[in-house]
Amino acid sequence: MTHYAMVIDTKLCIGCCDCVVACKTENKVPVGLNRDWVVEATQGTYPNLSTEFRSERCNHCSNATCVTMCPTGASHYWNGSNIVLVDPNKCTGCKACIAACPYDARLIMHPGGYIDKCTFCSHRVEKGLDPACVSTCPTRCMHFGQLDDPSSTVSQLLKSRKYKVLNPETGNQPNVYYLI
């Protein structure tokens, strides 16, 4: 299995939201909907505060509950990798996948009616390019690559830096990593 991962350096991210705009432009996401978003997490009590910016999206989980729960096979792993895609021609709009995602990372695409979400820009990955959000980031805090390859940037970063994933207790094995 090709194991794709995104590694985002929260020490470099300034929360500019360029990734959000890049995604909307690249994937022609309809007005008012978003496939990725930025969270500002502030911890502590004034004046001892620390802030972390996180660019969030579908975690393309290795054990994706949205794929497990899909009754028609519309939610599927792309080419035997961990990239989770939805096939609009199989999706009935039953919305089980939305309820099944512990990260609330799926959205209903209007007006089509089928479910849409982040694709890790599989159409770009296919050509050897980075996802649009990664290639746009002005602070270069986002990285994309394969974890099977020990020499890839993402593997090296996870070897050398402290990191976390969101809610690992879900058991979904998310693949968006945050360097902390």
Residues that bind another protein (CB under 8 A): 15, 17, 20, 31-34, 36-45, 53, 65, 68-74, 88-96, 98-104, 106-108, 110, 112-114, 167, 170-171
CA 36 vs. chain centroid, Å, equals: 7
Please tell me the distance from the alpha carbon of residue 133 to that of residue 46, in angstroms, as a whole number. Answer: 33
Taking a C-beta distance cutoff of 8 angstroms, is the pair 143, 154 a contact? yes
Please tell me the distance from the alpha carbon of residue 140 to that of residue 135, in angstroms, as a whole number. Answer: 8
Least separation in angstroms between residue 150's CB and another protein is 31
